[in-house]
Amino acid sequence: ASIYIQMFLILVRLVAIIAFFAWRVEHRNHDGMWLWATSMVADAWFGFSWLLNQLPKLNPIKRVPDLAALADLHGEAVLPGIDVFVTTVDPVDEPVMYTVNTILSILAADYPVDKYACYLSDDGGSLVHYEAMIQIVHFAALWVPFCRKHCIEPRSPENYFGMKTRPYVGGMAGEFMSDHRRVRREYGEFKVIIDSLSTTIRRRSDAYNKRDDGVHATWMADGTQWAGTWIEQADNHRRGQHAGIVQVMLDHPSCKPQLGSSARTNNPIDLSNVDTRLPMLVYISREKHPGYDNQKKAGAMNVMLRVSALLSNAPFVINFDCDHYINNSQALRAPMCFMLDPRDGQNTAFVQFPQRFDDVDPTDRYSNHNRVFFDGTMLSLNGLQGPTYLGTGTMFRRVALYGMEPPCYRAENIKLVGKAAELGNSTPFLNSIPDGAIQERSITPVLVDEGLSNDIATLMTCTYEDGSSWGRDVGWVYNIATEDVVTGFRIHRQGWRSMYCSMEPAAFRGTAPINLTERLYQVLRWSGGSLEVFFSHSNALIASRRLNPLQRIAYLNMSIYPIATMFILAYSFFPVMWLFSEQSYYIQRPFGTFIMYLVVVIAMMHVIGMFEVKWAGITLQDWWRNEQFYMIAATGVYPTAVLYMALKLIRGKGIYFRLTSKQTEACSDEKFADLYTVRWVPLLIPTVAVLIVNVTAVGAAIGKAATWGFFTDQAWHAVLGMVFNVGTLVLLYPFALGIMGQWGKRPGILLVMLVMAIGTVGLLYVTLQQDGHRMSFLTRPSG
């Protein structure tokens, strides 16, 4: 019933907006026509953006995976194969321990071990990542059977051992404590090895290099030179210039369980009734050459897609960022409830999980949880053609990534005639596509001989994609910062649908930047990429008719939403004018009626938002933090993204958006130390200016009211105008705390500073006005 009330309120608010505009046109402000016209354009755009945002939310549908029904219908034996992709670049910005725990959680997932494979793409070609994989293989032999024996949740060791309480749900409680102590001790030693890898590799390389004068190579433990990026970079061994590397770290396991050994002196853990097999694990670092645009994450994903086709060729693939681990061991089973649905599963291209984050400060100061988007917007799209692709925690149907049409639009089975030009000229890869389209297919072991190695090397070369459709109509899309959204859009416009899948406990969890500057840079990349989508071949306005009309509106809104913030920024700076001129208050006459209209229209928008909060199942704090952070972004990040896009259109080439760092720079053992670290960058300046302007405006309004008398019409207008200045300051409160650094731990100090600043401005205004009147009196000519 709440959704119908919400629809009614949307209609009422739409009528109110139309009445508001009609009133404004009837009462044009001829004294400030340029200001009136500008505000009319701004308000018209606000109304248009709001309508685009609301229309796709009229049919939210929540679907819950039924794992019991999946087991009854399909069972273990017929579950299809899955290729799991993990991407990383820099072992500093993306700490190796994040990647290690992600991979360990994948290896320990509750899915038939012979039916999935894990691939790590190391796009920096770092020996640290490679040797971390070797250590993972050793520790996984203990960690994975331990998880299976005792039903451990979550299966990321760092997060499991970091939990304060761990309710036991396994069937061997008598052995748990001793096993737990042993594994925890082993994990502590494992962490020491991982943390010291950089030092170990450097010392080893220095020792080898002393034997060979003039050589500054990076050396592997077996005494051979590393083929990837060296510590002291040289030709053919730089981050952007090195050979391709593929190494199968764990071979595909047998189909039959392999029970471990009984407890003994050197291994006190009894694994005699536990399957000790591990899934296939592969390390990949693609070829890099300075003459080619490597296309960042999208390029790495496309290489993994091709290489995996020759090694495992699972019909489904799921991708993770290196800092997102499996939090619910049954997470790989959940999307199969939708993919294998006999009703319409064959037309489902991907299943998107909402993102959940660890280590966010308790108040979620910068709206890192982003529940309004993940649980509101994505849930609403589930009632249309499905949620957008969000870059991580997404299971795909392999053939959808190959650019194939869904079965409902495909008259016959997949044919590869004429596809070589689109998919590249590798015959083994082309021959793998029909098998990868069979959704019941498991993973078949392959022998990695010299011939297969050569075929894989061909798929990893920089030149392989030349003249093909990779990066446009095949694979992940290139040349757009938000490659995830535009890739999902390309799949949707072909007629595929997607599904939103939420489960408890959350399927996956990751990390989020709690530092203000890093958070703003993250949002800058997202918003800049959204604008790139609008000005590209992926514009929703020109998509085929297979795209649901409301889904088209949703994509259009996601690609132009930063534009509205240019007007928000302008409104935020309007007080500068009325600090010096009384008439500047009058954007619209009569001013009091204008303010009342705005209050009603804005209040109705928030009431509608309350209904969204209800059906999305989010809290009021989530909603309020979203409102606050939107204002923070609207006064700095989003306008910057619009400027970047304008420069791109003028210059004809893209803008570089930096990778969001997950590494803290705060030298403290405090859990949320990075929250109180200030990193001053130009991106902060516009919002700081808005803060100063609105603090000054509030002080000036109070000074004007005191000067004219608090019960005069002029004072009433000043107070009405001040309402929006105060509202702006309340919304920017988290930003103000952020730029205070360590002082932000004491919010009371901020309140005192604001009161003092406003009071100082008010007193200064009154003093200047009195001095002005006195000078006017003294200089008045005598009669």
Catalytically active residues, by annotation: 123, 484
Token pair, residue 492, equals: 């949707």
DSSP state letter for 376:
I
Buried b (16+ CB within 10 A) or exposed e, 690-708: bbebbbbbbbbbbbbbbbb
Token pair, residue 445, equals: 């072991």
**What is the CB-side half-sphere exposure of residue 225 using CA atoms within 13 A?**
16
Whether 57 has a binding-site annotation, put simply, is no
Whether 296 has a binding-site annotation, put simply, is yes
Whether 232 has a binding-site annotation, put simply, is no
Handedness of CA 433, 438, 439, 443 (dihedral sign): negative
Q: Exposed, middle or buried: residue 263 (CB in 10 Å: 0-12, 13-18, 19+)?
A: middle
Residue 130 Cα distances to 125, 138, 259, 260, 560, angstroms? 8, 13, 29, 27, 41
Using CA atoms, how far apart are residues 547 and 345, in angstroms rounded to an integer? Answer: 18
Q: 302: closest CA among 477, 538, 430? A: 477
What is the three-class DSSP state of 483? helix
Whether 612 has a binding-site annotation, put simply, is no
Using CA atoms, how far apart are residues 495 and 675, in angstroms rounded to an integer? Answer: 43
Residue 373 Cα distances to 4, 234, 253, 667, 733, angstroms? 21, 45, 40, 33, 21
Token pair, residue 702, equals: 């109070």
Token pair, residue 86, equals: 């993990």
Helix-strand-coil split of the chain, %, nearest 5: 55, 10, 35
Residue 652 Cα distances to 467, 532, 533, 632, angstroms? 22, 12, 15, 29
Handedness of CA 167, 170, 175, 176 (dihedral sign): negative
Stated as kind and residue range, the H or E segment containing 12 is helix 2-26
Residue type, 302: N
Q: Exposed, middle or buried: residue 68 (CB in 10 Å: 0-12, 13-18, 19+)?
A: exposed
Q: 747: closest CA among 758, 737, 732? A: 737
Using CA atoms, how far apart are residues 124 and 286, in angstroms rounded to an integer? Answer: 9
Q: Which long-range contacts (CB under 8 A, 24 or more apart) does 6-9 make?
A: 6/608, 6/611, 6/612, 6/615, 7/58, 9/604, 9/607, 9/608, 9/611
Is the distance from CB of 56 to CB of 551 less than 8 angstroms?
Answer: yes
- List the beta bridge partners of residue 315: none
Whether 164 has a binding-site annotation, put simply, is no
Using CA atoms, how far apart are residues 46 and 28, in angstroms rounded to an integer? Answer: 19
Using CA atoms, how far apart are residues 736 and 741, in angstroms rounded to an integer? Answer: 9
- List the beta bridge partners of residue 320: 86
Using CA atoms, how far apart are residues 476 and 403, in angstroms rounded to an integer? Answer: 10
Q: At what angle do helices 516-534 and 483-493 cross, to 10 degrees?
A: 30
Q: Exposed, middle or buried: residue 266 (CB in 10 Å: 0-12, 13-18, 19+)?
A: exposed
Strand 316-321 vs strand 82-88: parallel, antiparallel, or unpaired? Answer: parallel
Which residues, at least 6 apart from 164, have a Cβ–Cβ distance to it below 8 Å? none
Binding residues for Mn(2+): 297, 321
Residues annotated in a binding site for UDP-alpha-D-glucose: 94, 123, 296
